[in-house]
Amino acid sequence: MLRNESFFHRAGAAPSRPRRAFAVTLAGALLAACGAGAAQAQSAQDYPARAIRSICNFGPGSGADIVVRYYSDKLQKLAGKPVVVENKVGAAGNIATRFVAASKPDGYTILITPGNATLASAPHLFKEINFDPIKDFDPVARLAKVPFVVIVKPDSPVKTIADLTALLKQKGVKARYGASTNTAIVTAELYREMAGIQLEQIKYNNVSDALRGLLADEFDFAAYDATWVASMAQSGRVRPIAVTSTTRLEAMPNVPTMEEQGFKGFDLTPWWGAVVPAGTPQPIVDKLAGWFKQINDDPETKAFLGKFATETWTGGPDELRALLASELTAWGKYIALAKIEKQ
């Protein structure tokens, strides 16, 4: 007759060798885990012990470079160690992103980046990027947002999106928009889809050429980032008629959103975030996140970003993780809608 046996031996009985080996292995694993946890805690306590590299996707003097250097300088003051900006230019920002993804996950390499362009849209725009936006990075902080703005000529009779839609419907197949960036294309194509109109795209090499085209009546409207539009509007060179985010911009409080003008759910808001290589100890991630929150809480940061029609958008690792996941899905749909082919 078979006897039912407990997992544990009866009191006083000597454990068998397999069970003794299991117990030793389990104890060792627990000690190792405790040791790793203690090491991470000590690592975070001592962090940073040396200079931090802050990688920028774009060249010195660019708008992105200005933002990265601002946050890096503020981070340096809080961390008490140098934060050195390194510009790694090329492949629409992918070279820098790939470099950070492959870096040692120790908190000494960070990426402060326009995340919609370098993380959320990259897998949908390029055949080979050699990094995974989700698996290869640990999110640290959501930092800022800078929506796009729909513009027309300063002397145009168009003053609202309703005016623009009526004009474009009247022009039919002759209706045109200008663009020199993927986000500009996506903005116009999303508007086209929601308005139920026909549009022809006029492509330019850069924003300066697009402005020339607008003033020369080569197309009817365009959409560009608020930083550029704000400066052009102040000098009277363009007329802003709508903001692509769900809230108005403090830098242009009189310009209503697309949603306010009847396009419910229209939300295209480029954003900034900070990430580190996947596997970075959580205590270090949390320490960095706390510093970035301090930076965004500083009124000086709001004032600095405001000069470029950019607004703080504070969030920790969880908020950035959720944002990146939703933006990856959204940008897949946007790029498919705009029929932008992978490079």
117 is written with which tokens?
Answer: 């362009």
Q: pLDDT category, 8, cuts 50, 70, 90?
A: very low
318-330 pLDDT, tens digit each: 999 999 999 999 9
Which run of H or of E encompasses 276?
Answer: strand 271-277
How is the chain split into domains, by residue range? 46-145+270-338, 148-261
- Rounded to two decimals, the pTM is 0.83
- Amino acid at site 238: V
125-173 pLDDT, tens digit each: 999 999 999 999 999 999 999 999 999 999 999 999 999 999 999 999 9
83-128 pLDDT, tens digit each: 999 999 999 899 999 999 999 999 999 999 999 999 999 999 999 9
Q: Between the CA of residue 171 and those of 163, 168, 196, 260, what are the distances in Å?
A: 12, 5, 13, 25
Report d(CA 316, CA 141) in Å as an integer: 5
What is the predicted pLDDT for the residue at 298?
Answer: 97
> Do 46-145+270-338 and 148-261 share a fold?
yes
Which run of H or of E encompasses 222?
Answer: strand 221-225
**Domain 46-145+270-338 - what CATH class?**
alpha beta
Report d(CA 186, CA 192) in Å as an integer: 10
Report d(CA 33, CA 29) in Å as an integer: 6
SS3 assignment, position 249: strand
Q: What residue spans of 140-206 are helical by DSSP H?
A: 161-171, 182-195
Q: Which of 117, 121, 115 is nearest to 139 (CA)?
A: 115
Return mean pLDDT, the chain: 90
Average pLDDT of the segment spanning 249-273 = 96
Q: Between the CA of residue 220 and those of 156, 167, 200, 235, what are the distances in Å?
A: 9, 9, 10, 20
317, 97 Cβ separation under 8 angstroms: no
Q: Between the CA of residue 145 and those of 72, 120, 167, 245, 249, what are the distances in Å?
A: 18, 14, 31, 9, 10
Average pLDDT of the segment spanning 168-184 = 95
What is the predicted pLDDT for the residue at 38?
Answer: 52
**Domain 148-261 - what CATH class?**
alpha beta
Report d(CA 185, CA 36) in Å as an integer: 49
